[in-house]
Amino acid sequence: MRFAFLDEDAKKEIRRATLKAIAIPGYQVSFASRELPIARGWGTGGLQVTLSIITQKDSLKVIDQGCDGSVNAVNIRNFITSVTNVETTNEVDKASIIQSRHRIPEKQMQEGQVLVLQVPEPEVLTNVEANASKQKIMHANSDYAKLWVLLYEDTSQFGDSRIGNRYPVMVNDRYVMDPSPIPKYDTLNLDNSKALVLLGAGREKKIYAVPPYTKVEPLKFDDREFKVEDFSGQKCQRCGASGVYMDEVHVDNGKTLYYCNDTSYCDEFLESRNA
Amino acid sequence: MGYVAVKGGEEAIKNSLSFYDEEFKGDIKPKDIRESLSFAVDKIMSEGSLYSKKLSSVAIKKSAGDLLNAAFFLRAHRSSCARVGMAKTINTDDMRIIRRVSSAFKDIQGGQILGPSNDYEVKLILKKVANKTIWSEFISDDIFVESALKPLRNKGLIKELKKDREIADITRIFPNSPYPRSAVLQIMSRGEGGSMLAFAYTTMRGYGDVHPTIGDLRIGKCDVKFTHPFTSKEVKIAEIESTSCEAVGTLEKQEDGSTKLTTGYGFCFGFNETKAISMAILDISLYSSSHSIGSGSIASDFDMILHHIDGVESMGFTNHYKLPHYVTFQSNLQVLMNAKEHNGGEK
Amino acid sequence: MKREDINFMLQKADRDSLRDLYKSIKNKHSVEILQSPTAQTLLQPIKDPISGGEFYAGEVLVTTTIVSVGDRQNKGWAMVQDDEEQLSLYVSVCDGAFGAGYFVDEIESLMKQTQLELEKHQIKINRKINSTKVSFDLMQES
Ligand SMILES: [Zn+2]
């Protein structure tokens, strides 16, 4: 099997699209998305980005739902290591590339690291404008009026946007971008990120990026607070951490318990407490 | 602890695959699939966008008859083979005919040839058929014949569309709107038959006004030709079975004031008439929408058709909802709770 | 028979006879494999009758082999349909031998034999196809 599965021409083309994406923060660059032995919608965009940038010296971490052991993360990690033999890790600090679905690691990533996010629906405008050519024009004109109307309607009815995850963000004061289905809690961590963030959508054949130290702001009215998921007053049942994104676990006796969603954070917190 | 269960994923995946392999083992040979389930094999080649009866049969076996999955196997394999070049163009007028019908004319040059078909079989599942024909009574002429619409086309009665200067290849660049015609036809040619049928069907039931007539429907064999690298002369590589359909729509006023008939074209690998007909109807619907009655035709919307008929993509994405989604669901629940609070703390 | 007929015709030849022929060539002349049988694809364009342009219907899987027979200059090539490594190798060696003027009679004889078989088969199929022709003129003439 060829190193990193894809043929060299494919990798070169994906890298070129990636470079363009980095040069225009938040702008969706089309690329010739290849068919992989992993199903469409299961992370093929992120996977192609990772396969095109990975080298023998890299150290890889793969997470899904905040967890290194989640079925899809295991599947993707096994596939990548089977075609590259690179070292893998669960620790954020030791990874040079982190591929993730639905979460940004709790532990802050550093300069030189790359976060690859898997994106199911890259087009932030789809819900307000289904026509692809009109979407393109709206982006070109930075015309996001329809998103603002949606936000206004939601706010007047429900007090806030109905969008829970994949909350639209303005990147570098120019393009509104779908940050992938991360919770609002994570959205704020995209702002001024030290690490390079690459977003890949395989089925929709788009790559886009947030370069290090780029301004990323959730779309909101000036007089409204951007409310993120709230777990205040809750502590992780396993490690005792608080102030992180949590999983609710409903146990048999009707009680609800909370655990860190980010399992490697939980492990590290537990270790540091026991040390 | 919750984590133990979640981290058991790796082991469970392995065991689940072993279970699958044992449960759906059977002992049917790909060769038997190829010979007795040949329409399934053809469907997979066309949707997998790779002409290989051999691998298509293997894919059907591997996916235990789940044809969407089988096409997925074939597509993934395609990504691992280098593309060596481009064959000579096939013109379906040159097809060696096995079956060819036209519902537009009673009799046509070359005749109505039913070929191997069970169209007129009464579908009684338990009835035993014992029909024997003495073949030697019939002539053995080869049949090559032009499309039944050729005479109308020669007379200039059929609307022409502008041809692309370059052939688009959607596997390398997926175009944006306005879509080049070659991209539109390529997407449909490898589209999923069922999805295309459903969209085509909408045009006949009020969501559009296509009332098609089958001008020329044919199945048969076409030659694949390439250039011999050492003699630089044309060389035949293969014969591929394929289906093509030209359907006629309705009258349409042209920009130059003339009135012409609209037509649509369908082509796919293998014998798959329903798909070729559906493609031809969608082609009419997409390119001849300006005079439609009513505006609610979904099958005349390029974005609607081109983004929703690929089986490998739609199946993959629909199935991805099986993956864990608890992070996003958690976040949605919190939004619900906040909205309830906003509405005066409703219970 | 032309050299260009070898590639398709010998794919259809009786496999045992083809293998024997390959072995005979190999025993007499040195055969070097320059590109071992490799699965590749050919992009297949189709003519669009409505615009007069073309479009790609998909790719055709082929197995390609390049060899040299006898002298390194005498190159042989085969591009056979589907995933067929052995077949591709046999055909490429015959192509190379034919080009170099080796075993020409034997190769032609196998091709002719194959052609006869193919024609016989085609006649059988044609009778079946012609039996399904809907006949309208019968009524007028009676
Ligand atoms: Zn914890």
Whether B220 is in a domain gets the answer yes
> pLDDT tier at B5 (50, 70, 90 boundaries)?
very low
Closest among B54, B102, B53, B74 to B242, alpha carbons compared: B53
Distance in angstroms (rounded) separating the CA atoms of residues A175 and A199: 14
Where a domain ends, among B296, B324, B340? B296
Instruction: Tell me which of A189, A215, A241 is where a domain ends.
Output: A215
Statement to judge: residues B225 and B287 lie in one domain: yes
Q: How many domains does chain B have?
A: 2
Which of the other chains make 3 or more beta carbon contacts under 8 angstroms with chain A? B
Residues A249 and A189 in one domain: no
CA distance B7 to B12: 9
**Residues A227 and A184: beta-carbon distance below 8 Å:** yes
> Which tokens hold the place of A29?
């660059």
Q: How confident is the model at residue A30 (pLDDT cuts 50, 70, 90)?
A: very high
Q: Identify the CA nearest to A123 among candidates A134, A115, A133, A135.
A: A135
Residue A254 lies in a domain: yes
Does the pLDDT value for residue B126 go beyond 90?
Answer: no
A67 is catalytic: no
In a domain, A141, yes or no: no
The mean of the pLDDT values for chain C is: 94
Let me know if residue B239 belongs to a domain. yes
User: A40 and A83: one domain?
Assistant: yes
The verdict on a CB contact (< 8 Å) between B177 and A133 is yes
- How does pLDDT run along chain C (142 residues), one tens digit per residue? 899 999 999 999 999 999 999 999 999 999 999 999 999 999 999 999 999 999 999 999 999 999 999 989 999 999 999 999 999 999 999 999 999 999 999 999 999 999 999 999 999 999 999 999 987 654 444 3
Reported as a single tens digit per residue, the pLDDT across A79-126 is 999 999 999 999 999 999 999 999 999 999 999 999 999 999 999 999
The dihedrals phi and psi of A6, each to the nearest 5 degrees, come to -70, 145
Task: Check whether B2 has a pLDDT greater than 80.
Answer: no
Same domain, B148 and B46: no
Q: What percent of chain A has pLDDT over 70?
A: 100
The per-residue pLDDT of chain B, averaged, comes to 90
Q: Place B1 in a pLDDT band, splitting at 50, 70 and 90.
A: very low
Which strand ranges, in their side-by-side order, compose the sheet holding A196-201? A29-30, A206-210, A196-201, A114-118, A97-101, A59-64, A87-88
Residues of chain B contacting C63 with CB distance shorter than 8 Å: none
- C94, C129, C138: which to substitute to probe chain B, counting the most B Cβ within 10 Å? C129
The pLDDT value given to residue B296: 62
Are 3 or more Cβ–Cβ pairs between C and B shorter than 8 Å?
A: yes
Give residue-wise pLDDT tens across range A46-57. 999 999 999 999
CATH code, domain carrying A42: 3.40.50.11310
Residue that finishes a domain, picked among B296, B321, B342: B296
Q: How many helices (H) does chain C have, and how many strands (E)?
A: 5, 4
Please list, residue by residue across C42-57, b when 16 or more beta carbons sit within 10 angstroms of its beta carbon and e when fewer do. Answer: bbbbbbbbbbebbbbb
A190-203 tens-digit pLDDT? 999 999 999 999 99
A261 and A189 co-located in one domain: no
Find residue B243's DSSP bridge partners.
B219, B268
CA separation for the pair A267, B6 (Å, rounded): 14
Q: What whole-number distance in Å separates Cα of residue B244 and Cα of residue B147?
A: 10
Q: Out of A39, A64, A245, whose CB is closest to B316?
A: A39
Do A117 and A211 sit in the same domain of this protein?
yes
Same domain, B71 and B215: no
Q: Are A121 and A204 contacting, i.e. CB atoms less than 8 angstroms apart?
A: yes
A133 occurs within a structural domain: no
For residues B233 and B259, membership in a common domain is answered with yes
Q: Indicate whether B56 belongs to any domain.
A: yes
Query: Does residue B103 sit in the same domain as residue B238?
Result: yes
Contacts of B32 (CB under 8 A, 6+ apart): none
Which residues on chain B are in Cβ contact (under 8 Å) with C123? 140
- B187 belongs to a structural domain: no
Q: Do A164 and B334 touch (CB under 8 A)?
A: yes
Integer Cα distance of B8 and B6 in angstroms: 5
Residues B222 and B289 in one domain: yes
**The pLDDT of residue A16 is above 80:** yes
pLDDT of B19 reads: 95
Domain that holds residue A261: 230-275
A266 is catalytic: yes
Residues B218 and B280 grouped into a single domain: yes
CA atoms in the 13 A half-sphere facing the CB of B318? 10
In 3D, which of B264, B282, B279 has the Cα closest to residue B147?
B264
d(CA B39, CA B276): 13
A248 domain residue, yes or no:
yes
Q: What is the pLDDT of residue B293?
A: 54
Domain residues for the domain of B70 are: 9-78
Domains held by chain A: number? 2
- Contact: chain A with chain C (3+ CB pairs below 8 Å): no
Q: Is residue B193 part of a domain?
A: no
Q: What is the Cα–Cα distance from A158 to A154, expressed in whole angstroms?
A: 6
Contact indicator for C100, C77 with CB cutoff of 8 Å: no
Answer yes or no: is B3 within a domain: no
In this structure, the answer to whether residues B55 and B108 fall within a common structural domain is: no
- Percentage, residues of chain B above pLDDT 70: 95
Looking at the structure, do residues A113 and A244 belong to the same domain, yes or no? Answer: no
In a domain, B4, yes or no: no
Cα separation, A230 vs A245, in Å, equals: 8
Name the nearest CA neighbour of B267 among B333, B182, B330, B331.
Answer: B182
* pLDDT tier for residue A1 given thresholds of 50, 70 and 90: low
Indicate whether B127 belongs to any domain: yes
Which pLDDT band, with edges at 50, 70 and 90, does B289 fall under? Answer: low
For B51-107, how does the pLDDT look when each residue is reduced to its tens digit (9 = 90+)? Answer: 999 999 999 999 999 999 999 999 999 888 889 999 999 999 999 999 999 988 877
What is the residue extent of each domain of chain C? 3-127
Quick check: B115 and C49 CB within 8 A?
A: no
Name all chains with 3 or more CB-CB pairs below 8 Å to chain C: B
Confirm whether A12 is domain-assigned: yes
C71 touches B: beta carbon within 8 Å:
no
pLDDT at A214: 98
The answer on B71 and B33 residing in a single domain is yes
